[in-house]
Chain A
Amino acid sequence: MKSLALVATLVTGALLFYSTGDFAEWGSADSPPNQHVSVHYVEKAVEETHVPNIVTAVLGDYRGYDTMFELVVIYCAGTGVMAILRRREDEEDES
């Protein structure tokens, strides 16, 4: 079973390494990631939102859903830790 897991890991890793060859060229202005919406953000973010920091404009406005659910994830993590770990003093310790 262990050797099977090792083979699966190696095959997956090899596939992932193979696929890095198809990545867009780093820093190239013609690559798809730099052609899609980023051009609009870089050129129009400040005049559309009046936020000088484009990162904040993208995170808070254009990608608002992402930021909102990031907060929700942290909130769920906190309430989850609270629900699992926290005990009241009058409760009996089972361990």
Chain B
Amino acid sequence: MRIDFDSARDQIPQRDMIVETAIRLMVPFIQLYGLYVIVHGHYSPGGGFQGGVVLGASVIMLGLAYGMPFSKAYLNEGTSIVMANIGALIFTGVAALCAFVGGMFLDYSALQTILPFISPVDWRSHGIFLVEVGVGMGVMMIMVSIYWDMASAGKMDEGL
């Protein structure tokens, strides 16, 4: 997807070069940090919820600085809804998959029957990672979606 900052800047009445430039520079680092928080949740404070909120905040910041149409071009509206569903389905799907392959619901060690070369104890670690990814996706997309709805009173046109 091509990100056209200049044409987005022309669409909103109040323009502030400092805010726009600062957010334009910060957003990639915020998103990288959000991914780090999700992935590094096994070793440091963090996890799906925190990382997802950080990722969602990056899109919300774009919406605040460049306007609602730009943030909707940056993250497609349909994509965000589909990704929120996928995120929730990843968690419940992994949990149900554990039950289908012979374990208990949410007992990740049962996934060893699918990939036997990973030990059950390691599967519990990897299972936690899988569901954290689902949590991150869901939380990020729901945060952005709620912001869009609240900021534009559901019209999804201009927003704050």
Interface of A toward B, CB cutoff 8 Å: 47-53, 55-57, 59-61, 64-65, 67-68, 70-72, 74-75, 77-78, 81-82, 84-87, 89
Complex contacts, A85 vs chain B, CB 8 Å: 149-150, 153-154
Complex contacts, A87 vs chain B, CB 8 Å: 154-155
Per-residue interface assignment for chain B, residues 132 to 160, with 1 indicating a CB less than 8 Å from any chain A CB and 0 otherwise = 10110011011001100110011111000
Contact yes or no, A81 B146, CB < 8 A? yes
Number of A-B contacts (CB under 8 A): 98
A93–B85 Cα distance when bound, in Å, is 29
Contact of B139 among A51, A52, A71, A86 (CB under 8 A): A71
Asked if B88 CB lies within 8 Å of chain A CBs, one says yes
Complex contacts, B145 vs chain A, CB 8 Å: 78, 81-82
Return B86 CB to nearest CB of chain A, in Å. 11
Complex contacts, A51 vs chain B, CB 8 Å: 42, 124-125, 128
Chain B contacts with A in 108-148, Cβ cutoff 8 A: 108, 121-122, 124-125, 127-128, 131-132, 134-135, 138-139, 141-142, 145-146
Interface of B toward A, CB cutoff 8 Å: 41-45, 47-49, 81, 84-85, 87-88, 91-92, 95, 106, 108, 121-122, 124-125, 127-128, 131-132, 134-135, 138-139, 141-142, 145-146, 149-150, 153-157
Main secondary structure of the interface of A (DSSP, over half): helix
Q: Given contacts A53-B43, A53-B45, are A71 and B150 in contact (CB under 8 A)?
A: no
By beta carbon, the residue of chain B nearest A88 is B156
Q: Given contacts A78-B146, A86-B154, are A53 and B131 in contact (CB under 8 A)?
A: no
Contact yes or no, B41 A53, CB < 8 A? yes
Complex contacts, B142 vs chain A, CB 8 Å: 74-75, 77-78
A16–B48 Cα distance when bound, in Å, is 34
Complex contacts, B157 vs chain A, CB 8 Å: 89
Q: Given contacts A64-B95, A75-B142, are A50 and B124 in contact (CB under 8 A)?
A: yes
Complex contacts, A72 vs chain B, CB 8 Å: 88, 92
Complex contacts, A75 vs chain B, CB 8 Å: 84-85, 87-88, 138, 142
13 pairs, CB–CB < 8 Å, chain A vs chain B: A50-B121, A50-B122, A50-B124, A64-B106, A67-B131, A70-B49, A71-B87, A71-B88, A72-B88, A75-B87, A75-B138, A84-B154, A85-B149
Q: Which 6 pairs across A and B sit closest by C-beta, in order of nearness?
A: A85-B154, A60-B128, A78-B142, A64-B106, A49-B124, A50-B125
